[in-house]
Amino acid sequence: MTNKRLNNKNIVITGASSGIGLSIASLCAENGANLVLLARRLDQLEKIKQDLEGRYSVNVQVYKLDVSDTKEVKAVFSKLLGELSTIDVLVNNAGYGIFRAAHEVEMGDVKGMFDVNVVGLIACTTMVLPLMRQQRKGHIINIASQAGKIATPKSSVYSATKHAVLGYTNSLRMELSDFNVSVTAVNPGPIETNFFSIADEEGTYVKSVKRYMLTPDFVARKVVDRMLTKTREINLPRWMNAGSILFALFPGLFERAGKKVLNKK
């Protein structure tokens, strides 16, 4: 896959130390993009920087960032904005989930998921918006989830955060339509990453959906292929998105028919 649009572009990626973020970073570097990689694990980012700069003729900058800390978001983005003349793409990938029944969820986990998945995403986006509006170009890509379209048992809070991400994304897209800035929501189903080491401690959900799980490289290729295009949503896999359409049209029927399967978390 070659995306000539990315050559020499500046791409910022949160949650870039593993999973989808790392796969997106690798593909962007392969296509000639310069990168700013953000994550909590600076040691891992340094290794990625060395690897990507060694394989490709690109510039990779890395910063330690916990997106749930809005003061840290402001400080890090202020620094990188002072060093870059343009930001062409922001990929808001950082996020996590915990699958528990609603009455068992700790309030600390509720706050944590909203702080990372929603507030952190909004904070990072807010920092690049003035520049993208001024330069009248850019692309904001928010990694949401099919959980933002289909709420399921034992993921009430996680689903709520992703519903919030989709609401924010859809509003933002309309706000930026006159500034030539694209806004894309990426809604994948379950992916083979370390996400589930936290979300699904017992492993029951992974066992029930393992044959349907996507690979990070597959999702990353779909995302990178659509960078700097007017793409509203990327829904993966397609058959699962068909389920979200059915849910929107016939929610009661969908919940009754799918209750047994959806309760397998």
Q: With 70 as the cut, is the pLDDT of residue 141 above it? A: yes
For the ranges 50-54, 76-80, 242-246, which has the lowest average pLDDT?
242-246
Name the pTM for this structure: 0.89
244 vs 35, higher pLDDT? 35
pLDDT at 87: 98
Annotated catalytic sites, by residue?
158
pLDDT interval class at 75 (50, 70, 90) = very high
Convert the chain into a string of H (helix), E (strand) and C (coil): CCCHHHCCCEEEEECCCCHHHHHHHHHHHHCCCEEEEEECCHHHHHHHHHHHHHHCCCCEEEEECCCCCHHHHHHHHHHHHHHCCCCCEEEECCCCCCCCCHHHCCHHHHHHHHHHHHHHHHHHHHHHHHHHHHHCCEEEEEECCHHHCCCCCCCHHHHHHHHHHHHHHHHHHHHCHHHCEEEEEEEECCECCCHHHHHCCCCHHHHHHHHHCECHHHHHHHHHHCCCCCCCEEEECHHHHHHHHHHHHCHHHHHHHHHHHHCCC
180 falls in which pLDDT band (50, 70, 90)? very high
Domain 4-262 grouped into CATH 3.40.630.30: no
